Amino acid sequence: MSDSPILLTPGPLTTAIETRRAMLRDWGSRDPAFIALTAELRQRLLAVAGGEGSHVAVPLQGSGTFIVEAAIATLVGPGDKLLVLVNGAYGERMVTIAQRMGRAVEAIRWAEDEVVESGRVAAALRADPSITHVALVHCETTTGILNPMPEIASVVAGEGRAFLLDAMSSFGALEIDLRTTPVTAVLASSNKCLEGVPGLGFALVRPEALERAAGNSPSLSFDLHAQWKGFEKDGQWRFTPPVQVVAALVEALRRLDAEGGPEGRRRRYQGNFATLLAGMRRLGFDLFLDEAVQAPIIATFRMPADGTLVFRDFYDALADRGFLIYPGKLTKAESFRIGCIGALDRRDFERLLHAIEGTLARLEAV
């Protein structure tokens, strides 16, 4: 495993050596070999969600937030209104993006441990016909909660509005079937469940929605319509592509296929999560969420109520043993998070639990 730490984070995360190895060459961005690699990337991204024929894949340089910002800037026009369904920090971030882009935006909010509920969404859409777009975070990485995406998608489509899905921390592991679920645009990035390296976001978008969005974006770079037209014209990126990131992601997508697609990957993550949860409970930790709404992506644990454990000490001690955990992001309770995604299996989680047990014993002894 070389000298890389084990990343128990929601991305960047632990990647396979083959994926990292795919970066060990230079690519000319306008060379036919890289144009072919880009075409393979776009085709494979669509295939993950069954979007061939109905959607187009538009990759964009940058982190996940960049693609969310580009999608809102492009698809939500100056005369449109966005409704964001918020039960965590990433939903809140979409509200901020829309405001910064000068778009009309409203939010419906739920507590961080409650799923978005379709009845309230339907009522809001009926009450306000000026809402044109609805945005949802599939798995809210703030807590790891799984929102009932297909149900919300069909309510939104039933009311005739466009549906934007932030699938950043679910794409590649949790089912998103564009053949059966009405989604206008799915947004995700290279470095989460796809197990690529960071540097690239992408949207799977209905071409009709993109056509209608020409000229909407107030930004040159964050313009998904122009980015798409660039690929359609000559298969090339408009501006310098992160060539090594693309090469790594194509390798990672081939590996996803070999694992049995999102269903195979979900099974491995579910095994990771089950191992983690059983072990953490044995060590006396409580899961923040109700298990019924928990996705097998990232788990939030409460800090012990007696205040004996300090996150920084716990983090440092585990880092010394080669494991990087993740701080909590809850607005109310003291917590920390452990990611279940990345090129890891149950045995890695057994080793982690062993390290946590040793760390707790040592911290208690001082």
Ligand X SMILES: *Cc1c(COP(=O)(O)O)cnc(C)c1O
Binding stretches for ligand X (CB under 6 A): 10-11, 63-65, 68, 90, 137, 141, 166, 168-169, 189
Question: What are φ and ψ of residue 14, in 5° steps?
Answer: -65, 125
User: 171 or 228, CB closer to ligand X?
Assistant: 171
- Smallest gap from residue 26 Cβ to ligand X (A): 25
Smallest gap from residue 29 Cβ to ligand X (A): 23
| Closest separation in Å from C-beta 139 to ligand X | 7
Residue 200: half-sphere exposure toward Cβ, Cα within 13 Å: 26
CB of 168 to ligand X, least distance (A): 3
Question: Of 95, 226, 99, 265, whose CA–CA distance to 164 is shortest?
Answer: 95
Q: Say if residues 323 and 339 touch (Cβ distance below 8 Å).
A: no
Rounded Cα distance, 299 and 111, in Å: 17
Question: Minimum distance from CB of 170 to ligand X (Å)?
Answer: 8
Nearer CB in complex with ligand X: 72/356: 72
CA angle 355, 7, 306 (to 5 degrees): 50
Give CA–CA dist 111/133, Å, rounded: 22
For helices 224-234 and 32-48, the axis angle rounded to 10 degrees is 120
Cα–Cα distance measured from residue 170 to residue 259, given in angstroms and rounded to the nearest whole number: 16
- Residue closer to ligand X (CB basis): 162 or 298: 298
Q: Cβ(57)–Cβ(202) under 8 Å?
A: yes
Nearer to ligand X, 196 or 241 (CB): 196
**Please, which residue, 189 or 272, has the CB nearer to ligand X?**
189
Q: Write the DSSP string, 39-62.
A: HHHHHHHHHHTT-TTT-EEEEEES
Cβ 349 to ligand X, closest distance in Å? Answer: 20
Q: How far is the CB of 201 from ligand X (least distance, A)?
A: 7
Q: What angle do CA 178, 179, 183 make, to 5 degrees?
A: 35
CB 351: neighbour CB atoms within 10 A? 15
Q: Which is nearer to ligand X, 62 or 241 (CB)?
A: 62
From CA 21, how far away is CA 247, in angstroms rounded?
A: 9
Q: How far is the CB of 194 from ligand X (least distance, A)?
A: 12
**At closest approach, how far in Å is the CB of 322 from ligand X?**
23
**At its nearest, how many Å lie between ligand X and the CB of residue 12?**
9
The secondary element (H helix, E strand) that includes residue 18 is: helix 17-21
Residue with smaller CB distance to ligand X, 37 or 164: 164
**Identity of the residue, 11 or 172, whose beta carbon is nearer to ligand X in the bound complex:** 11
Residue nearest to ligand X (CB): 64
Nearer to ligand X, 90 or 228 (CB): 90
Cβ nearer to ligand X, comparing 80 with 140 = 140
**Rounded (10°) CA dihedral 102, 212, 119, 143:** -60
Q: Cis before residue 12, ω within 30 degrees of 0?
A: yes
Closest to 170 measured CA to CA, from 187, 155, 150, 183: 187
